[in-house]
Amino acid sequence: MRAYERFLQYVKVYTTSDPESDTVPSTMRQKNLGKILVEEMRQLGIADAFMDDKGYVYGHIPAKDCASTVRLGFIAHMDTSPDYHGENVNPVLHPDYDGEALEIGCGKVLSPAVFPHLKSLKGRTLITADGTTLLGCDDKAGIAEILTMCEEILENDLPHPALSIGFTPDEEIGSSADSFDLEAFAADFAYTVDGGEENEIVFENFNAAGAEFVVNGVNIHPGSAKNAMVNASLLAMEINSLLPGCDIPAKTEMYEGFYHLVGMSGTVETAKLSYIIRDHDAAMFASRLKTLKHIAKTMNEKYGEGTVVLTITEQYRNMAEIIEKNYHLVENADAVIRGLGMEPSHSPIRGGTDGARLSFMGLPCPNLGTGGYAFHGPYEHVTVEGMDTAVKVLRGIVEKYTK
Protein backbone atom coordinates (compact mmCIF):
# COMPACT_ATOMS: atom_id res chain seq x y z
CA MET A 1 0.00 0.00 0.00
CA ARG A 2 1.32 3.46 -0.86
CA ALA A 3 1.56 6.13 1.81
CA TYR A 4 -1.19 8.32 0.36
CA GLU A 5 -3.65 5.41 0.44
CA ARG A 6 -3.13 5.00 4.17
CA PHE A 7 -3.32 8.75 4.58
CA LEU A 8 -6.73 8.96 2.90
CA GLN A 9 -8.06 6.53 5.51
CA TYR A 10 -6.49 8.21 8.54
CA VAL A 11 -7.72 11.74 7.80
CA LYS A 12 -11.32 10.58 8.04
CA VAL A 13 -10.82 9.72 11.72
CA TYR A 14 -11.67 12.73 13.90
CA THR A 15 -8.71 13.33 16.23
CA THR A 16 -8.64 17.05 17.07
CA SER A 17 -7.05 17.73 20.47
CA ASP A 18 -8.45 20.16 23.06
CA PRO A 19 -6.25 22.72 24.89
CA GLU A 20 -8.95 23.26 27.55
CA SER A 21 -9.09 19.61 28.57
CA ASP A 22 -7.31 18.24 31.64
CA THR A 23 -7.44 14.59 30.56
CA VAL A 24 -4.72 12.52 28.84
CA PRO A 25 -5.28 12.29 25.98
CA SER A 26 -7.12 15.59 25.84
CA THR A 27 -9.82 13.99 23.66
CA MET A 28 -10.72 10.31 23.80
CA ARG A 29 -11.42 10.33 20.05
CA GLN A 30 -7.65 10.23 19.46
CA LYS A 31 -7.70 6.69 20.82
CA ASN A 32 -9.97 5.69 17.94
CA LEU A 33 -7.09 6.23 15.53
CA GLY A 34 -4.70 4.63 18.00
CA LYS A 35 -6.72 1.41 17.95
CA ILE A 36 -6.71 1.38 14.15
CA LEU A 37 -2.95 1.88 14.06
CA VAL A 38 -2.25 -0.87 16.59
CA GLU A 39 -4.29 -3.34 14.54
CA GLU A 40 -2.58 -2.28 11.32
CA MET A 41 0.87 -2.54 12.89
CA ARG A 42 0.16 -6.07 14.07
CA GLN A 43 -1.04 -7.04 10.59
CA LEU A 44 2.23 -5.72 9.17
CA GLY A 45 4.17 -7.95 11.55
CA ILE A 46 4.90 -5.55 14.41
CA ALA A 47 3.77 -8.14 16.90
CA ASP A 48 4.21 -6.16 20.12
CA ALA A 49 2.27 -3.07 18.99
CA PHE A 50 0.08 -1.65 21.76
CA MET A 51 -1.62 1.52 22.97
CA ASP A 52 -1.23 2.53 26.61
CA ASP A 53 -3.96 4.00 28.79
CA LYS A 54 -2.92 7.54 27.83
CA GLY A 55 -3.35 6.96 24.12
CA TYR A 56 0.31 6.53 23.13
CA VAL A 57 1.01 3.84 20.53
CA TYR A 58 4.30 1.92 20.60
CA GLY A 59 5.75 -0.93 18.55
CA HIS A 60 9.13 -2.48 17.78
CA ILE A 61 10.77 -4.32 14.90
CA PRO A 62 13.78 -6.41 16.02
CA ALA A 63 17.04 -5.93 14.14
CA LYS A 64 17.71 -8.16 11.13
CA ASP A 65 21.10 -8.89 9.51
CA CYS A 66 22.56 -5.79 11.10
CA ALA A 67 25.80 -5.59 13.06
CA SER A 68 24.90 -2.19 14.50
CA THR A 69 23.42 -2.12 17.98
CA VAL A 70 21.78 1.28 17.41
CA ARG A 71 18.07 1.40 18.21
CA LEU A 72 16.46 3.86 15.80
CA GLY A 73 13.03 5.40 16.30
CA PHE A 74 10.40 7.20 14.22
CA ILE A 75 7.61 9.30 15.77
CA ALA A 76 4.49 11.08 14.49
CA HIS A 77 1.41 12.48 16.19
CA MET A 78 -2.21 11.46 15.83
CA ASP A 79 -4.04 14.65 16.79
CA THR A 80 -4.92 17.52 14.48
CA SER A 81 -4.89 21.18 15.37
CA PRO A 82 -7.82 22.73 17.28
CA ASP A 83 -7.16 25.91 15.28
CA TYR A 84 -9.53 24.74 12.53
CA HIS A 85 -12.34 22.24 11.94
CA GLY A 86 -11.07 18.66 11.87
CA GLU A 87 -14.26 16.61 11.80
CA ASN A 88 -15.77 14.98 8.69
CA VAL A 89 -12.66 15.53 6.59
CA ASN A 90 -13.30 14.80 2.91
CA PRO A 91 -9.97 14.46 1.07
CA VAL A 92 -9.96 15.32 -2.63
CA LEU A 93 -7.37 14.21 -5.20
CA HIS A 94 -6.41 16.55 -8.04
CA PRO A 95 -4.43 14.50 -10.59
CA ASP A 96 -1.93 16.20 -12.89
CA TYR A 97 -2.16 19.51 -11.04
CA ASP A 98 -1.29 22.40 -13.39
CA GLY A 99 0.45 24.61 -10.83
CA GLU A 100 -2.17 27.34 -11.11
CA ALA A 101 -4.96 28.63 -8.85
CA LEU A 102 -7.22 25.78 -7.77
CA GLU A 103 -10.71 26.10 -6.29
CA ILE A 104 -10.94 23.52 -3.53
CA GLY A 105 -14.51 24.17 -2.41
CA CYS A 106 -16.67 26.66 -0.49
CA GLY A 107 -15.21 29.48 -2.55
CA LYS A 108 -11.69 28.86 -1.26
CA VAL A 109 -8.88 29.06 -3.82
CA LEU A 110 -5.44 27.55 -3.37
CA SER A 111 -3.34 30.11 -5.20
CA PRO A 112 0.36 30.43 -6.12
CA ALA A 113 -0.01 34.13 -5.30
CA VAL A 114 -0.31 33.11 -1.64
CA PHE A 115 1.62 29.83 -1.81
CA PRO A 116 4.43 30.29 -4.39
CA HIS A 117 5.69 26.72 -3.96
CA LEU A 118 2.58 25.46 -5.79
CA LYS A 119 4.36 26.10 -9.09
CA SER A 120 6.90 23.43 -8.16
CA LEU A 121 4.11 20.87 -7.65
CA LYS A 122 2.97 21.05 -11.27
CA GLY A 123 2.29 17.61 -12.75
CA ARG A 124 1.79 15.93 -9.37
CA THR A 125 -1.37 14.58 -7.79
CA LEU A 126 -2.38 17.16 -5.21
CA ILE A 127 -4.46 16.21 -2.16
CA THR A 128 -6.60 18.83 -0.39
CA ALA A 129 -9.69 18.87 1.82
CA ASP A 130 -12.98 20.16 0.38
CA GLY A 131 -12.77 23.67 1.85
CA THR A 132 -14.79 22.95 4.98
CA THR A 133 -12.04 21.43 7.17
CA LEU A 134 -8.31 21.13 7.50
CA LEU A 135 -6.81 18.10 5.77
CA GLY A 136 -4.80 16.55 8.58
CA CYS A 137 -1.45 15.95 6.89
CA ASP A 138 -0.09 17.46 10.10
CA ASP A 139 0.59 14.77 11.07
CA LYS A 140 -1.32 11.88 9.59
CA ALA A 141 0.97 12.09 6.58
CA GLY A 142 3.86 11.31 8.92
CA ILE A 143 2.04 8.30 10.35
CA ALA A 144 1.26 6.97 6.86
CA GLU A 145 4.86 7.39 5.72
CA ILE A 146 6.32 5.65 8.76
CA LEU A 147 4.01 2.65 8.43
CA THR A 148 4.60 2.43 4.69
CA MET A 149 8.33 2.37 5.35
CA CYS A 150 7.79 -0.41 7.91
CA GLU A 151 5.68 -2.39 5.45
CA GLU A 152 8.32 -2.16 2.72
CA ILE A 153 11.08 -3.29 5.06
CA LEU A 154 9.09 -6.22 6.46
CA GLU A 155 7.53 -7.40 3.19
CA ASN A 156 10.89 -7.37 1.41
CA ASP A 157 12.74 -8.88 4.38
CA LEU A 158 15.33 -6.10 4.27
CA PRO A 159 18.24 -5.75 6.71
CA HIS A 160 17.68 -3.09 9.33
CA PRO A 161 18.65 -2.07 12.86
CA ALA A 162 16.22 -2.35 15.76
CA LEU A 163 13.34 0.02 14.99
CA SER A 164 11.00 1.72 17.45
CA ILE A 165 7.71 3.24 16.28
CA GLY A 166 5.73 5.76 18.31
CA PHE A 167 2.49 7.63 17.63
CA THR A 168 1.50 10.28 20.15
CA PRO A 169 -1.61 12.26 21.12
CA ASP A 170 -1.83 15.98 21.89
CA GLU A 171 1.22 17.30 20.02
CA GLU A 172 -0.82 20.23 18.73
CA ILE A 173 -1.49 21.48 22.26
CA GLY A 174 2.13 21.05 23.34
CA SER A 175 1.75 18.16 25.77
CA SER A 176 2.60 15.02 23.80
CA ALA A 177 6.05 14.70 25.34
CA ASP A 178 4.61 14.93 28.86
CA SER A 179 3.61 11.27 29.02
CA PHE A 180 5.91 9.83 26.37
CA ASP A 181 7.41 6.64 27.82
CA LEU A 182 11.07 6.56 26.81
CA GLU A 183 11.52 3.11 28.33
CA ALA A 184 8.59 1.67 26.39
CA PHE A 185 9.80 3.33 23.19
CA ALA A 186 13.32 1.93 23.73
CA ALA A 187 15.40 3.87 21.19
CA ASP A 188 18.80 5.56 21.27
CA PHE A 189 17.95 8.14 18.61
CA ALA A 190 14.80 9.04 16.73
CA TYR A 191 13.28 11.27 14.08
CA THR A 192 9.93 12.96 14.31
CA VAL A 193 8.23 12.92 10.92
CA ASP A 194 6.20 16.08 11.25
CA GLY A 195 7.67 18.73 8.97
CA GLY A 196 7.03 20.37 5.62
CA GLU A 197 8.58 19.67 2.23
CA GLU A 198 10.07 16.24 1.72
CA ASN A 199 13.72 17.45 1.64
CA GLU A 200 13.45 19.04 5.07
CA ILE A 201 15.61 18.06 8.03
CA VAL A 202 15.18 20.48 10.93
CA PHE A 203 17.21 20.54 14.11
CA GLU A 204 16.85 24.13 15.30
CA ASN A 205 13.81 25.59 17.01
CA PHE A 206 12.92 28.45 19.30
CA ASN A 207 13.65 28.64 22.97
CA ALA A 208 10.17 29.30 24.31
CA ALA A 209 8.34 30.63 27.34
CA GLY A 210 4.90 31.89 28.24
CA ALA A 211 4.52 35.07 30.26
CA GLU A 212 1.47 36.46 32.04
CA PHE A 213 1.13 39.91 33.58
CA VAL A 214 -1.72 40.31 36.08
CA VAL A 215 -2.39 43.97 36.88
CA ASN A 216 -4.26 44.90 40.06
CA GLY A 217 -6.02 48.24 39.94
CA VAL A 218 -8.24 50.31 42.23
CA ASN A 219 -11.82 50.78 41.06
CA ILE A 220 -13.55 53.93 42.35
CA HIS A 221 -16.57 55.79 41.02
CA PRO A 222 -15.21 58.02 38.24
CA GLY A 223 -16.88 61.02 39.82
CA SER A 224 -14.58 60.82 42.83
CA ALA A 225 -11.58 59.10 41.26
CA LYS A 226 -9.13 62.01 41.43
CA ASN A 227 -5.74 60.72 42.72
CA ALA A 228 -7.35 57.47 43.84
CA MET A 229 -8.36 55.37 40.83
CA VAL A 230 -5.76 53.03 39.34
CA ASN A 231 -7.08 51.76 36.01
CA ALA A 232 -5.65 48.27 35.52
CA SER A 233 -6.49 48.23 31.81
CA LEU A 234 -4.55 51.44 31.20
CA LEU A 235 -1.57 50.04 33.12
CA ALA A 236 -1.72 46.93 30.96
CA MET A 237 -1.51 49.14 27.86
CA GLU A 238 1.50 50.85 29.41
CA ILE A 239 3.21 47.51 29.97
CA ASN A 240 2.81 46.55 26.32
CA SER A 241 4.13 49.95 25.23
CA LEU A 242 7.39 49.24 27.07
CA LEU A 243 8.15 46.28 24.78
CA PRO A 244 10.03 46.86 21.50
CA GLY A 245 7.40 47.38 18.80
CA CYS A 246 9.44 45.72 16.05
CA ASP A 247 9.95 42.48 17.97
CA ILE A 248 6.62 40.91 17.04
CA PRO A 249 5.86 37.94 14.76
CA ALA A 250 4.57 40.14 11.92
CA LYS A 251 7.94 41.91 11.68
CA THR A 252 10.44 39.08 12.28
CA GLU A 253 11.72 36.04 10.35
CA MET A 254 14.28 33.23 10.36
CA TYR A 255 16.36 33.49 13.56
CA GLU A 256 14.76 36.72 14.83
CA GLY A 257 12.89 36.37 18.11
CA PHE A 258 9.78 38.13 19.36
CA TYR A 259 7.30 39.00 22.09
CA HIS A 260 3.83 37.92 20.97
CA LEU A 261 0.71 39.21 22.75
CA VAL A 262 -1.68 36.27 22.41
CA GLY A 263 -4.44 37.44 24.73
CA MET A 264 -5.62 40.37 26.80
CA SER A 265 -8.56 41.11 29.05
CA GLY A 266 -9.31 43.79 31.57
CA THR A 267 -11.49 46.04 33.65
CA VAL A 268 -10.59 48.98 35.84
CA GLU A 269 -10.02 46.62 38.76
CA THR A 270 -7.92 43.91 37.10
CA ALA A 271 -6.30 43.19 33.76
CA LYS A 272 -4.30 40.38 32.22
CA LEU A 273 -1.76 40.22 29.37
CA SER A 274 -0.63 36.84 28.01
CA TYR A 275 2.51 36.57 25.86
CA ILE A 276 4.63 33.90 24.26
CA ILE A 277 8.34 34.69 24.11
CA ARG A 278 10.57 33.16 21.44
CA ASP A 279 14.23 33.31 20.39
CA HIS A 280 16.66 30.84 18.82
CA ASP A 281 19.63 32.34 20.62
CA ALA A 282 19.81 31.27 24.27
CA ALA A 283 21.45 34.51 25.43
CA MET A 284 18.90 36.65 23.59
CA PHE A 285 16.11 34.53 25.02
CA ALA A 286 17.43 35.08 28.54
CA SER A 287 17.64 38.81 27.81
CA ARG A 288 13.99 38.89 26.71
CA LEU A 289 12.88 37.26 29.96
CA LYS A 290 15.04 39.72 31.88
CA THR A 291 13.29 42.59 30.06
CA LEU A 292 9.89 41.32 31.20
CA LYS A 293 11.07 41.10 34.80
CA HIS A 294 12.48 44.62 34.60
CA ILE A 295 9.15 45.95 33.30
CA ALA A 296 7.29 44.33 36.19
CA LYS A 297 9.80 45.78 38.68
CA THR A 298 9.55 49.26 37.15
CA MET A 299 5.74 49.23 37.17
CA ASN A 300 5.65 48.19 40.83
CA GLU A 301 8.12 50.92 41.75
CA LYS A 302 5.92 53.44 39.96
CA TYR A 303 2.47 52.31 41.13
CA GLY A 304 3.11 50.34 44.32
CA GLU A 305 4.35 46.86 45.15
CA GLY A 306 1.89 44.15 44.10
CA THR A 307 0.30 46.23 41.35
CA VAL A 308 1.86 43.95 38.73
CA VAL A 309 2.43 40.23 39.13
CA LEU A 310 4.49 38.50 36.42
CA THR A 311 4.53 34.72 35.94
CA ILE A 312 6.97 33.19 33.43
CA THR A 313 6.65 29.55 32.40
CA GLU A 314 9.47 28.07 30.32
CA GLN A 315 8.07 25.77 27.64
CA TYR A 316 10.88 24.24 25.56
CA ARG A 317 14.45 24.84 24.43
CA ASN A 318 16.35 24.86 21.16
CA MET A 319 17.16 21.25 20.35
CA ALA A 320 20.25 22.33 18.36
CA GLU A 321 22.07 22.20 21.71
CA ILE A 322 21.50 18.41 21.79
CA ILE A 323 21.55 17.59 18.07
CA GLU A 324 24.94 19.24 17.56
CA LYS A 325 26.36 16.54 19.85
CA ASN A 326 24.64 13.84 17.76
CA TYR A 327 25.12 15.41 14.34
CA HIS A 328 25.23 12.04 12.56
CA LEU A 329 21.42 12.24 12.63
CA VAL A 330 21.55 15.28 10.35
CA GLU A 331 24.49 14.09 8.24
CA ASN A 332 22.84 10.76 7.44
CA ALA A 333 19.53 12.38 6.54
CA ASP A 334 21.36 14.95 4.37
CA ALA A 335 23.18 12.19 2.51
CA VAL A 336 19.94 10.32 1.82
CA ILE A 337 18.16 13.46 0.62
CA ARG A 338 21.04 14.34 -1.71
CA GLY A 339 21.08 10.75 -2.97
CA LEU A 340 17.47 11.25 -4.05
CA GLY A 341 18.47 14.29 -6.12
CA MET A 342 17.36 17.01 -3.69
CA GLU A 343 19.20 19.62 -1.64
CA PRO A 344 18.48 19.31 2.10
CA SER A 345 16.55 22.17 3.70
CA HIS A 346 17.79 23.27 7.13
CA SER A 347 15.49 26.21 7.83
CA PRO A 348 15.01 26.82 11.56
CA ILE A 349 11.58 26.09 13.00
CA ARG A 350 9.88 29.31 14.10
CA GLY A 351 8.01 27.31 16.69
CA GLY A 352 8.47 24.08 18.59
CA THR A 353 8.36 20.38 17.93
CA ASP A 354 8.08 17.17 19.92
CA GLY A 355 11.69 16.54 19.02
CA ALA A 356 12.84 19.53 21.04
CA ARG A 357 11.43 18.27 24.31
CA LEU A 358 12.32 14.65 23.58
CA SER A 359 15.90 15.66 22.83
CA PHE A 360 16.24 17.23 26.27
CA MET A 361 14.57 14.17 27.80
CA GLY A 362 17.45 12.05 26.46
CA LEU A 363 16.20 11.05 23.00
CA PRO A 364 18.02 13.15 20.34
CA CYS A 365 15.31 13.72 17.78
CA PRO A 366 15.48 16.04 14.71
CA ASN A 367 12.42 16.53 12.50
CA LEU A 368 11.86 15.28 8.94
CA GLY A 369 9.48 16.64 6.31
CA THR A 370 6.28 14.88 5.28
CA GLY A 371 5.70 16.68 1.97
CA GLY A 372 2.85 18.71 3.46
CA TYR A 373 2.14 22.45 3.33
CA ALA A 374 -0.12 25.16 4.83
CA PHE A 375 -0.91 23.27 8.02
CA HIS A 376 -3.75 24.09 10.45
CA GLY A 377 -6.24 25.48 7.96
CA PRO A 378 -8.45 24.81 4.94
CA TYR A 379 -5.56 25.29 2.48
CA GLU A 380 -3.53 22.40 3.87
CA HIS A 381 -2.23 20.18 1.08
CA VAL A 382 0.21 17.40 0.22
CA THR A 383 1.09 15.46 -2.93
CA VAL A 384 1.08 11.74 -3.61
CA GLU A 385 4.58 12.00 -5.03
CA GLY A 386 5.87 14.02 -2.10
CA MET A 387 4.68 11.36 0.31
CA ASP A 388 6.35 8.65 -1.78
CA THR A 389 9.61 10.60 -1.59
CA ALA A 390 9.28 11.01 2.18
CA VAL A 391 9.01 7.22 2.47
CA LYS A 392 12.20 6.88 0.43
CA VAL A 393 13.95 9.27 2.82
CA LEU A 394 12.89 7.14 5.79
CA ARG A 395 14.00 3.95 4.03
CA GLY A 396 17.34 5.53 3.18
CA ILE A 397 17.94 6.60 6.76
CA VAL A 398 17.24 3.07 7.97
CA GLU A 399 19.75 1.75 5.43
CA LYS A 400 22.37 4.23 6.67
CA TYR A 401 22.04 2.94 10.22
CA THR A 402 22.04 -0.65 9.01
CA LYS A 403 25.51 -0.06 7.58
Number of domains in the chain: 2
Average pLDDT over residues 175-192: 95
CATH number at residue 276: 3.30.70.360
Q: What percent of the chain has pLDDT over 90?
A: 88
Whether residue 130 lies in the annotated active site: no
| 375-388 burial code (b ≥16 CB/10 A, e <16) | bbebbbbbbbbbbb
Residue 270 contacts by C-beta under 8 Å, 6 or more apart in sequence?
Answer: 214, 215, 216, 217, 232
Distance separating the N- and C-terminal Cα atoms of the chain: 27
Of 316, 337, 356, the one marking the end of a domain is 316
Same structural domain, 305 and 328:
no
Q: What is the pLDDT of residue 361?
A: 94
Average pLDDT over residues 258-267: 95
Q: Which domain holds residue 253?
A: 211-316
Same structural domain, 325 and 230:
no
Catalytic residue among 79, 151, 197, 247: 79
Does residue 254 register a pLDDT over 90?
A: no
Same structural domain, 41 and 178:
yes
* Model confidence pLDDT, tens digit, residues 72-117: 999 999 999 998 999 999 999 999 999 999 999 999 999 999 999 9
Same structural domain, 68 and 176:
yes
Q: What is the pLDDT of residue 71?
A: 97
Whether residue 171 lies in the annotated active site: yes
Same structural domain, 219 and 115:
no
Same structural domain, 49 and 197:
yes
* Model confidence pLDDT, tens digit, residues 208-248: 999 999 999 989 888 888 888 889 999 999 999 999 999 99
Catalytic residue among 145, 151, 170, 171: 171
Does residue 47 register a pLDDT over 90?
A: yes
Same structural domain, 59 and 181:
yes
Whose CA is closest to 278, among 266, 286, 270?
286
Of 286, 316, 346, the one marking the end of a domain is 316
> Residue 150: pLDDT band by 50, 70, 90 thresholds?
very high
CATH number at residue 357: 3.40.630.10
Of 296, 316, 336, the one marking the end of a domain is 316
Q: What is the pLDDT of residue 132?
A: 96
- For every residue of 385-399, DSSP letters joined together read HHHHHHHHHHHHHHH
Better-scored residue on pLDDT, 386 or 353? 386
Whose CA is closest to 55, among 40, 84, 34, 80?
34
Same structural domain, 327 and 355:
yes
pTM equals: 0.88
Same structural domain, 252 and 351:
no
* Model confidence pLDDT, tens digit, residues 354-370: 888 899 999 999 999 99
Cβ atoms within 10 Å, residue 110: 23
Same structural domain, 195 and 233:
no
Same structural domain, 339 and 234:
no
Does residue 347 register a pLDDT over 90?
A: no
Does residue 166 register a pLDDT over 90?
A: yes
Same structural domain, 175 and 304:
no
